[in-house]
Amino acid sequence: MSQTRPIAVIVLAAGQGTRMKSTLPKVLHPIGGRSLLHHSITAAAGATPEHLVVVVRHERDQLVSHLDSLPINSTQTLLIADQDEIPGTGRATECALTQLPDDLTGTVVVTYGDVPLLTADTINSLVEVHESSHNAATVLSAEVDDPNGYGRIVRDASGALLRIVEQKDASDDQRSIREINSGIYAFDAAALKAGLASLTTDNAQGEKYLTDVIGFSRDAGQSVAATATADLWQVEGANDRVQLANLGKELNRRVCEKWMRAGVSIIDPDTTWIDMDVSLSEDVTILPGVQLLGATDIGSGAVVGPDSTLKDTEVGAGAQVVRTHSELAVVGAGAKVGPFSYLRPGTNLGEDGKIGTFVETKNADIGRGAKVPHLSYVGDAEIGEGSNIGAASVFVNYDGVNKHRTVVGKHARMGSDNMYVAPVTVGDGAYSGASTTVRKDVPAGALAMTVAPQRNLEGWVVSNRPGTSAAQAAEAASEGEPASE
């Protein structure tokens, strides 16, 4: 079967989206880690049209700079059309045509910037039906339980499409029709132009309705049709935040399903959130309560969760990441992270390394097999292969004005409660005692200590805290013991 491709896809995104009640333009609200507009553009580009046009007006500069930032993987250029002050989907489409060649022929698809679940396959099937039936216009319709607010598909007694009537212009009879206009269409370019030229604003909303092109073509004796979609989610628009959340949940359900079919174990898809740009290998296991965001990439056999958020994080094969928050970090193959770890940008944990419980890391290269197991902060540091950092250590990187770096060599055994006052370097194979404040470089193989002698003031508690439980315990402990000289 030859690939049917539209000559142009027009994405309408000029409307204000007032029901979102937001300073952020509606089509820039995200689900699955992408804006609604990004989802729409991805589907439009995926239909491989020769021309791709987005119509903007409300917050146009913000939309245009967002469009510029999108990594659209397609050879077509994205054209921007500005809608003028004349309102309506018909006018928006007219404005789009000004960006296209005058002698345009073929199939023009019109879709919206706020239908995030629509796929390129659905656009292409619509184009196929449209072209094989030699229609002037083909509209994607849907049978819904509550048609309120939508344009209705009006058919004649034989079931043939007559026209579309908007809710506000509809009679009571027409309002009871449950087949609605999705707002996604395929038009023959010439028929679209003729239809648009006929539009007026003589209707309940004072807008140029794109829907009127259908009735115009039909009245001109051309063939028009409505083809119903079975997948209602694909034509659902996000008009308010309730619909946005519902669409986000459904998108996520579809994404989780795709990964499970690709060999990923997701124990609880209801509490697992996976962004569109995440990539997962076979035999990854995702435990409940996990969010995989941005361009996170998980290698085969790795286990993530429960209760972890990884954004733009790379996890190597066979690694384990438990109850962790991570952003712009790399976890090597076979490494262990968590529970309760915080990996900040620039963390790079080597193969078989460990970042353990209540450990925060940032700009830190932790070598192969190196370990920071407990209660530590590692910032602006390099820790060599096979080294171990004792519990409760801090890489003291900030002097109040500037940040400095600490370097620990390979196979060092550093004591607990060490402070590394940067800039400072610890050589390969060095040791340190507990509570060392490392202010001076430690040569390879040396044992570093900061020794402050311990003093015990005998009897201090009984004398200074009489009557406390500590004093009573101390007295009980000394009973029967010979009095010290």
State the catalytic residues: 374
Q: Is 166 annotated as a binding residue?
A: yes
Instruction: Reduce the DSSP state of residue 59 to 3 states and report it.
Output: coil
C-beta of residue 39 within 8 angstroms of C-beta of residue 80: no
Examine residue 15 and tell whether it contacts ligand UD1 (CB under 6 A).
Answer: yes
Residue selected from 92, 96, 117, 140 as contacting ligand UD1 according to rule CB under 6 A: 92
Nearest distance from C-beta of residue 278 to ligand UD1, angstroms:
27
Residue selected from 4, 35, 48, 83 as contacting ligand UD1 according to rule CB under 6 A: 83
CA distances from 332 to 128, 290, 313, 387, 391 (A): 47, 19, 11, 16, 22
Q: Is 88 annotated as a binding residue?
A: yes
Examine residue 151 and tell whether it contacts ligand UD1 (CB under 6 A).
Answer: yes
Structure tokens of 18?
């007032």
Q: Which of residues 107-126 bind ligand UD1 (CB under 6 A)?
A: 112-114
Nearest distance from C-beta of residue 49 to ligand UD1, angstroms:
18
Structure tokens of 205?
């909303």
C-beta of residue 17 within 8 angstroms of C-beta of residue 240: no
Q: Is 398 annotated as a binding residue?
A: yes
Nearer to ligand UD1, 197 or 447 (CB): 197
Closest CA to 210 of 94, 317, 298: 94
> Going along 318-405, which residue ranges are E strands?
320-321, 324-327, 330-331, 336-337, 341-343, 347-349, 354-366, 371-383, 388-389, 394-396
Q: Is 348 annotated as a binding residue?
A: no
Nearer to ligand UD1, 140 or 424 (CB): 140
Q: CB within 8 A of 74, min separation 6: which ones? A: 45, 46, 48, 52
Nearer to ligand UD1, 241 or 404 (CB): 241
Residue selected from 8, 14, 100, 303 as contacting ligand UD1 according to rule CB under 6 A: 14
Alpha-carbon gap, residue 31 to 357, rounded angstroms: 32
Q: Is 388 annotated as a binding residue?
A: yes
Nearest distance from C-beta of residue 377 to ligand UD1, angstroms:
48
Nearer to ligand UD1, 169 or 385 (CB): 169
Structure tokens of 79?
């054209």
Q: Is 185 annotated as a binding residue?
A: no
Instruction: Reduce the DSSP state of residue 56 to 3 states and report it.
Output: strand
Nearer to ligand UD1, 219 or 270 (CB): 219
**With CB under 6 A as the contact rule, which of the stretches 8-16, 335-343, 388-396, 419-427 interacts with ligand UD1?**
8-16
Q: Which of residues 290-349 bind ligand UD1 (CB under 6 A)?
A: none
Residue selected from 7, 8, 12, 333 as contacting ligand UD1 according to rule CB under 6 A: 12
C-beta of residue 169 within 8 angstroms of C-beta of residue 150: no
Nearest distance from C-beta of residue 42 to ligand UD1, angstroms:
16
Alpha-carbon gap, residue 436 to 448, rounded angstroms: 7
Nearer to ligand UD1, 151 or 195 (CB): 151
Nearest distance from C-beta of residue 208 to ligand UD1, angstroms:
8
Backbone angles phi, psi at 130, to 5 degrees: -60, -50
Alpha carbons within 13 angstroms on the beta-carbon side of residue 47 total 35
Backbone angles phi, psi at 230, to 5 degrees: -90, -20
Could you tell me how many residues of this chain bind ligand UD1 (CB under 6 A)?
26
Query: CA torsion sign, 162 to 167 to 172 to 178?
Result: positive
Q: Is 397 annotated as a binding residue?
A: yes
Q: Are strands 290-293 and 272-274 parallel, antiparallel or unpaired?
A: parallel
Structure tokens of 223?
């063939």
Backbone angles phi, psi at 414, to 5 degrees: -100, 140
Nearer to ligand UD1, 174 or 279 (CB): 174
Q: Which of residues 189-248 bind ligand UD1 (CB under 6 A)?
A: 209-211, 237
Q: From the annotation, which residues make up the binding site? A: 12-15, 26, 83, 88-89, 112-114, 151, 166, 181, 239, 344, 362, 377, 388, 391, 397-398, 416, 434
Binding positions for ligand UD1, rule: CB under 6 A: 12-15, 55, 83, 87-89, 91-92, 112-114, 150-151, 164, 166, 180-183, 209-211, 237
Q: From the annotation, which residues make up the binding site for Mg(2+)? A: 114, 239
Q: From the annotation, which residues make up the binding site for UDP-N-acetyl-alpha-D-glucosamine? A: 12-15, 26, 83, 88-89, 112-114, 151, 166, 181, 239, 344, 362, 377, 388
